[in-house]
Chains A and B, each alone.
Chain A
Amino acid sequence: MSDPTVGSMATTPPAEQPTVAGGTAPPDSGLPANAKRDQPRGLLGDAWIDLRRKPLFWISATIILLFLVMAAFPSLFTSVDPTQGDLARSRVEPSGDAWFGYDVQGRDVYARVIHGARASILVAVLATLGTVLIGGAIGILAGFWGSWVDALLSRIADVFFGLPFVLGAIVILTTFNKPGSGNSYMKIVSLVLFSLIVLGWPVSMRIMRSSVLATKQADYIMAARALGAGSGRIILKHLLPNTLAPLLVYSTILVGSFIGAEATLSFLGVGLQSPVVSWGVMISETRDWVRVSPFLLFFPATFLVIAVLAFVMLGEAVREALDPKLR
């Protein structure tokens, strides 16, 4: 099922995957023991310095910070209750009293948009964390151990890959979350999280796996083994820092992707629902009214697009900073 926002982003790895060569520099040899030297920075350290110089980074970081504050402390932006509606005010256009007007049920759109940030962003961030942690862990296992472990895990990932994203999410959500069943806020949110993670982990797994496979052959891994390092230590100290880059880039874009995905699912009526307020929920409520009151769509959609854009821009900036070929 192609909802390209979600479909092709979820199943298409980022077009350019930085191949990370080298990592934490080996300590200088031949220096007297008490010689003062700089901490070896490694690729991540260099990347941070590069990142700081990019305007793209600062713009996106500021926007994201703004949204995070909005999500955490909506009362800083509005004191109006987003759930309180007066049908007499239904679909009243923006004015001095209510900057974004009132929605179908007479609720203040501005307040809802501000409060909606929390659900939208929370879901996206948590889903990304879950996807990346689980997918990444499985990817490392598959890449590092190879042979039957890899074959098994890859086939399992293929099964989930075969499921069209939107369809799979819809099926999962309708099975467990029958509309009108009055599920609690937490339950609804966790179900959406669950479906996003369950369907999203294969891509993270693949990215991590190919990253590990590429790095595994590196000489310094062999050197570490020859020195007697156990598998655990090799994974933690040597493999991980060098394989993180592609996944890091992907995860920033993934947050943006998931914001869009949540909105799409809510739009279809299977994601978050009342009483939860999110941008997706707001957009879905406008479905029948968009032709007469387009402003109802405009505001939540704009916030949505800006938020996604900010994360995608951040991903771009991070990718450019981490790409050793651009050095």
Chain B
Amino acid sequence: MGRYLLRRLLQLIPVFIGTTFFIFVLVWAVPGDPFAGKCGDRRCPDAYVDFMTDKYKLDQNIFVQYGSYMKNLLQGDFGQTFGGRSINEIVSNAYPNTLKLALVALAVEALIGLTAGVLTGLKRNGFLDNLVLVSTLFLIALPTFVTGFVLQWLLGVKWGIAPVTVSGDVAFSELLVPGFVLGSTSMAYIARLSRTSIAENRRADYVRTAIAKGLPMRRVVGVHLLRNSMIPVITFLGTDLGALMGGSVVTEGIFNINGIGREVFRAIITKEGATVVSIVVILVLVYLLMNLLIDLLYAALDPRIRYE
């Protein structure tokens, strides 16, 4: 197991370097003046140009640039915006909000998705089953921003039962609607995935054995069936959490949540190159580490794949 972990970590490094280098090149190394458009619509102030050139060795070739940039990054220095704000500060203000939203979304999608999926997996071809099948198809087809807009308008403006936007101190209760919006597509996937998994496992031999042992149905379903059926679902949830932790430009934008997604979007639009790269690097790292965790989680859940 330890060797497997080590191998995966080693595989992670070239991917990390590759992705971050790719972004870095896109932002800073496109031919022409590297500072074109990096400071909004104006020319960058000379002081900033000098400062950045010196710090990140921008007068040297791309690899040195990248190298020095990453060196700073790994020491915890994410640089500054052209206006002088510390990017570290921006991130530490925004990320917790994104995390809160991610957790709410995960909770909502898991709760609703699993309930729907398990119930319909056990009892198929009923009214509930068809309802779930149709509604999940619908949710998968709806882009997040449409869901967001519609719910914001319906629940916030028309019926007034939910706050239209999220306030400065991001309370969990305010995040329910945005969380639902963010998790809506995944919720549909979870419902379908768990439904199929349960339906398939229901006919499995080990379920027959459990019944033949004389165990109460509650235990057969609740312990034996569920434990097996939930493996793909839980790994999906883990992957989704990784994606959610990358923030959501759309949801944060619609509901005015001060999260990492909105920050990076703002940075892209206002041409804050340094901010963009720094945040993206963090997000990529989080994503890659989450993927690794998911693999470990999967091995923990399914004893058959532990010896790779």
Contacts and interface: CB of A to CB of B under 8 A. Distances in A.
B250 to A, nearest CB: 5
A155 B11 contact: yes
A12 B189 contact: yes
Contacts of A221: none
Interface string B21-37: 01100110010000001
Interface in B177-235: 182-186, 189, 192-193, 196, 232
B248 interface: yes
A82 interface: no
Given A12-B189, A175-B30, A3 B157 contact: no
B144 A3 contact: yes
A171 B249 CA distance: 13
Q: Interface on chain A toward B: helix, strand, loop, or mixed SS? A: helix
Contacts of B129: none
Nearest to B244: A2
A170 B193 contact: no
A268 B249 contact: yes
Interface in B230-255: 232, 236, 239-240, 243-251, 253
A5 B185 CA distance: 6
Contacts of B82: none
Interface residues of B, number: 60
A260 B244 CA distance: 18
B56 interface: no
B137 interface: yes
Contact of B144 (A4, A174, A294): A4
A175 B27 contact: yes
Contacts, number: 168
B265 A170 contact: yes
B16 interface: yes
Contacts of A261: 143
Which of A3, A12, A155, A176 has the largest count of B CB atoms less than 10 A from its CB? A3
B202 to A, nearest CB: 15
Interface in A262-293: 263-264, 267-270, 283, 290-291
Contacts of B301: none
A301 B149 contact: yes
A164 interface: yes
Nearest to B287: A162
Contacts of B30: 175-176
A256 interface: yes
Given A304-B143, A309-B138, A312-B137, A158 B150 contact: no
Nearest to A294: B153
Contacts of A7: 243, 246
Given A163-B22, A164-B283, A268-B249, A5 B265 contact: no
A12 B188 CA distance: 13
A159 interface: yes
Interface centre among B27, B146, B287 (most CB of A within 10 A): B146
Given A260-B143, A309-B137, A172 B26 contact: yes
B171 interface: no
A1 B189 contact: no
Given A5-B144, A316-B137, A159 B189 contact: no
Which among A1, A267, A297, A305 has the highest number of chain B CB atoms within 10 Å? A1
A196 to B, nearest CB: 14
Interface string A154-170: 01101111111011101
Contacts of A11: 239, 243
Interface residues of A, number: 54
B15 A155 contact: yes
Chain B CB within 10 Å, residue with most, of A160, A167, A291: A167
B185 A8 contact: yes
Interface string B249-288: 1110100000001001100110100001000100110011
Given A2-B248, A167-B264, A175 B182 contact: no
B144 A264 contact: yes
Interface in B4-48: 11, 14-16, 18-19, 22-23, 26-27, 30, 37
Interface string B55-97: 0000000000000000000000000000000000000000000
Contacts of B193: 15
A159 B22 contact: yes
Nearest to B164: A291
Given A167-B246, A301-B146, 11 more contacts: A8-B243, A156-B18, A162-B284, A256-B141, A260-B143, A264-B143, A267-B250, A268-B250, A301-B150, A305-B138, A309-B141
22 contacts: A1-B264, A2-B182, A4-B240, A12-B189, A159-B22, A161-B15, A162-B288, A163-B19, A163-B23, A166-B249, A166-B250, A167-B246, A167-B264, A171-B27, A175-B26, A263-B143, A264-B143, A264-B250, A290-B149, A291-B153, A297-B149, A297-B153
Interface of B: 11, 14-16, 18-19, 22-23, 26-27, 30, 37, 137-138, 140-146, 149-150, 153, 157, 182-186, 189, 192-193, 196, 232, 236, 239-240, 243-251, 253, 261, 264-265, 268-269, 271, 276, 280, 283-284, 287-288
